[in-house]
Amino acid sequence: MVKVISITGAGRSGSTILDNVLGGISGAFSGGELRYIWQRGLIEQRLCGCSRPLPECELWPQILERAFPDGVDAAQAVALSHYVRTRFTPAARIGALHGWYNKKLQPLATILDALYPAIAEHTGARFIVDSSKLPTYTYLLSRVPSIDLRIVHLIRDPRAVAHSWGRPKQQLDTAEARAMTAIGPARSALDWVVWNTTIRSLFADASVGYLQLRYEDLITSPETAVRRILEMADEADAATPHLQGNTVELAGNHTVSGNPGRFTTGTIELALDEAWRRDMPASKRKLVERITGPFRGSFGY
């Protein structure tokens, strides 16, 4: 089986940072947000983490050839991904709907059953890091027979998440200049509640390895956080020479999609981003607090 560490949680919670750090471990392969390989990678031909369009990357065409020697229909895979959208979260969460939902996911699960082993075989990785985040995609991975799934449930203060979603940020993987999607504080807060409670209800008591990790703990004590992840993933002996205190040395990667930070290389210093405490308007902060109030405490906020 192929060991996959799935980073899941609400957007803007630090998944790209964690993916970058885990990807630097010997024996790891960082795939970024692999759920976007069909649309963004193959159809739109956005940049791989190596800064080449994915079809021209030195790695991905070889992986895809190994996985699908007769070719793969990216448009069909995108169509099958329809059932991985957020709107199907109740189907993943409600047991009475599992039979119907699992049947809808099966064709895409079959495709992934070829893709992930090919990644591991071609790269020689002991484990793959996938920061797709979406709860329904993590649920899909749990249905893939060849995957030994381990889950890092990454959580960040919902006020910080909402503030991040409201700040302008540029895409770096498209041919033309394009702003990343921005959403308002109410939508961000609702997503935070739905995504995080769904992930916990699906996996906290499941048979798969599961670790709940706060973004704030990751940034302030990265070595401790990474050790916790590796122990959960039965990789406790893995060396992390690229990580010293709050300093991390980032090499290049072949991530499919993700935050623009995936293109960062070299030595960086991890520092807590709490600009929301200073810059977030009081009205927006209070709105987020009202929506997330009944749930924040159970996640440590």
The predicted-structure confidence for 22-34, as pLDDT tens digits, reads as follows: 999 999 999 999 9
Write the secondary structure of the chain as one string of H (helix), E (strand) and C (coil).
Answer: CEEEEEEECCCCCCHHHHHHHHHCCCCEEEEECHHHHHHHHHHCCCECCCCCEHHHCCCHHHHHHHHCCCCCCHHHHHHHHHHHCHHHHHHHHCHHHHHHHHHHHHHHHHHHHHHHHHHHHHHCCCEEEEEEECHHHHHHHCCCCCEEEEEEEEECCHHHHHHHHHCCCECCCCCCCCECCCCCHHHHHHHHHHHHHHHHHHHCCCCCEEEEEEHHHHHHCHHHHHHHHHHHCCCCCCCCCCEECCEEEECCCCCCCCCHHHHCCEEEECCCCCCHHHHCCHHHHHHHHHHHHHHHHHHCC
What is the sign, positive or negative, of the torsion defined by CA atoms of 252, 255, 256, 258?
negative
pLDDT of residue 206: 84
What is the mean predicted confidence (pLDDT) over 70-74? 98
Ordered by start, the domain boundaries in the chain are: 2-299
Higher pLDDT, 175 or 56: 56
pLDDT 10s digits, 12-21: 999 999 999 9
Residue 207 has pLDDT above 90, yes or no: no
Strand-pair partners of 19:
none
Instruction: Tell if the pTM clears 0.95, that is, is over it.
Output: yes
What is the mean predicted confidence (pLDDT) over 166-173? 87
pLDDT 10s digits, 189-206: 999 999 999 999 999 988
pLDDT of residue 217: 98
Q: Which fold would CATH assign to domain 2-299?
A: Rossmann fold (3.40.50)
pLDDT of residue 170: 85
Residue 179 has pLDDT above 80, yes or no: no
What is the sign, positive or negative, of the torsion defined by CA atoms of 217, 32, 132, 22?
negative
42: Cβ contacts below 8 Å, ≥ 6 apart = 54, 55, 74
pLDDT of residue 172: 87
pLDDT band at 149 (very low <50, low <70, confident <90, very high): very high
Q: How far is CA 240 from CA 204, 220, 236, 248, in A?
A: 27, 17, 10, 10
pLDDT 10s digits, 115-147: 999 999 999 999 999 999 999 999 999 999 999
